[in-house]
Amino acid sequence: MKWIVSACFLIFLSASALGQNAVEVYINEIRANDLNTDDVEFIELIGPAGTNISGFVIVHYDGANVNDGEVWRHTIGTFTIPNDGVLDDDGVNVGFYVAAQSGAVPNGDAPLPGLLQNGNGDGLILYDGDPSSGANILDAVSWDGVTDIDIDDPGTVSTGVDSNEDNYLHQVVDDDNTDFSIQAPNSVFNDDGSGWALDNATPGALNASQVSGDIVLPVSLSSFTARLAGEEVVLNWVTESEVDNIGFEIWRNATVGGDYTQIGWQDGQFTTNERTQYSFSDDRVISGTIYSYLLVDVDVNGVRTQHGPIEVNTASEAPTVDGFYLYANYPNPFNPTTTLKIQVPVAERPQNVKLEIFNSLGQRVRVLQNGQMTAGTHEIEWNGLADNGSQVTSGLYFAVLRAGNVTQTIKMALLK
């Protein structure tokens, strides 16, 4: 492990600081048209092996101006991405999910509800749940000419944001009325659509132009945390790997809705598979002010990836707690362990406290605490194991505290 130190500090990170697509599942290949009968169409997703994508939704939009609205949607049933014998550039096993017309490909996982080619300007949006219930956009691809799905159909994707944002619309090469498929380049993320190409279909396998299942960010950030330390605010962040990373810009904002100002720079490791820990101290803070921080990594091509924002209140390091309280876990996202902190109020006798972990389907996977605890602050580590000793998969989990008349829930993200 490497340490890069320009100061010391700790701050809490919400899962959104790493983007909504923490599961790193993307659209990888689309076969949308045939020369003749349109009977071998399919969609292929790629993601880390072991990722539970049950309940994810793929929506097909007709992007022609006169045909707003969904054409159809495909909800993925119970499915965990398998280990298909493919490694990404960091040595992580990845796999595929294929939804195809019935009998179209030998390794299809589920049937498509309809055709992919619906005229000029078609598109797909991948969600991590039901879009009508506020699910996150994970990826979006359009083909076959100009579409309006970034304007009003449904208008929740954009070509005007950074190309590694989850709601970026990849406008890819046209299907061109061939028997080829539309295929993502080796780097599935951070592509503006120009890297996609037409080639022989490869459902359930790497695309023709891919040499690995490279689905992770060039800078794999596993935590970005901070806390007030005396008269300074200290920012810490950890990378699990870096590819072509020049370094990090540190930006700060002290006014709600105001502009951010760059206050620092930290050199990166360029390319490394080793975990690296960074630290930066902001000593120009005023007591009683809420500061917001952004971390931006910059690669050799000038691509800038934003993490955050995260906030620090210099008036108080932590909330004043009179009763039971479950603090945000740290780090978050985490791999493989995270720490949860419980505040137990003063009482005449030890208090009964129950702390449980649930997955995104509401299923209990682990009981971390169930019994009496004395007054004070207690830290409990979760190592990502279920009660039966098995390792849980990547995804969102919820820690639920039940004590006295208090029930409190926090959200955690396990990234592998």
The pLDDT value given to residue 90: 66
* Token pair belonging to 204: 């359930």
* Residue 296: partners with Cβ closer than 8 Å, 6 or more residues away: 248, 249, 251, 304, 305, 306, 307
* Token pair belonging to 145: 């000419």
The pLDDT value given to residue 16: 31
| Tokens 């923490």 -> residue | 22
**Which is higher by pLDDT, 317 or 269?**
269
**Which is higher by pLDDT, 211 or 104?**
211
Residue 389 pLDDT exceeds 60: yes
**Which is higher by pLDDT, 213 or 79?**
79
* Residue 256: partners with Cβ closer than 8 Å, 6 or more residues away: 290
> 230-247: per-residue pLDDT in tens?
778 889 888 877 877 899
Residue 102 pLDDT exceeds 90: no
The pLDDT value given to residue 310: 81
The pLDDT value given to residue 231: 77
For 16, 43, 173, the CA distances from 98, given in Å and listed in that order, are: 28, 6, 21
DSSP line for 52-107: B-TT-EEEEEE-STT--SEEEEEE--S-B----SEE-TTS-EEEEEEEESTTSSTT
* Token pair belonging to 130: 């039901």
The pLDDT value given to residue 34: 66
> 343-355: per-residue pLDDT in tens?
888 776 788 899 9
> 114-158: per-residue pLDDT in tens?
888 766 778 999 999 999 888 889 999 998 877 888 888 888 898
| Tokens 């599942």 -> residue | 25
User: Using 50, 70 and 90 to split pLDDT, how confident is the model at 103?
Assistant: low
Q: Which of 32-46, 267-281, 372-386 has the lowest mean pLDDT?
A: 32-46
Helix, strand, coil percent values for the chain (each to nearest 5) = 0, 50, 50
**Which is higher by pLDDT, 246 or 328?**
246
Average pLDDT, the chain: 81
How many residues can be counted in the chain? 416
Residue 317 pLDDT exceeds 70: no
**Which is higher by pLDDT, 106 or 252?**
252
* Token pair belonging to 134: 């506020």
Residue 10 pLDDT exceeds 50: no
Q: What's the rounded mean pLDDT across residues 147-176?
A: 84
Q: What domains appear along the chain, each with residue ranges and CATH number?
A: 2-17+217-313 (2.60.40.10), 25-215 (no CATH), 325-414 (2.60.40.4070)
90 backbone φψ class: left, alpha, beta (φ>0; ψ -120 to 50)? alpha
Residue 4 pLDDT exceeds 60: no
For 109, 198, 212, 372, the CA distances from 86, given in Å and listed in that order, are: 18, 22, 7, 47
> 274-299: per-residue pLDDT in tens?
788 899 999 888 777 788 888 988 88
- pLDDT more than 90, % of the chain: 26
Q: What's the rounded mean pLDDT across residues 298-322?
A: 70
The pLDDT value given to residue 14: 32
**Model confidence, pTM:** 0.55
The pLDDT value given to residue 402: 87
The pLDDT value given to residue 68: 73
The pLDDT value given to residue 28: 95
CB contact at 8 A, 43 and 113: no
- pLDDT more than 70, % of the chain: 86
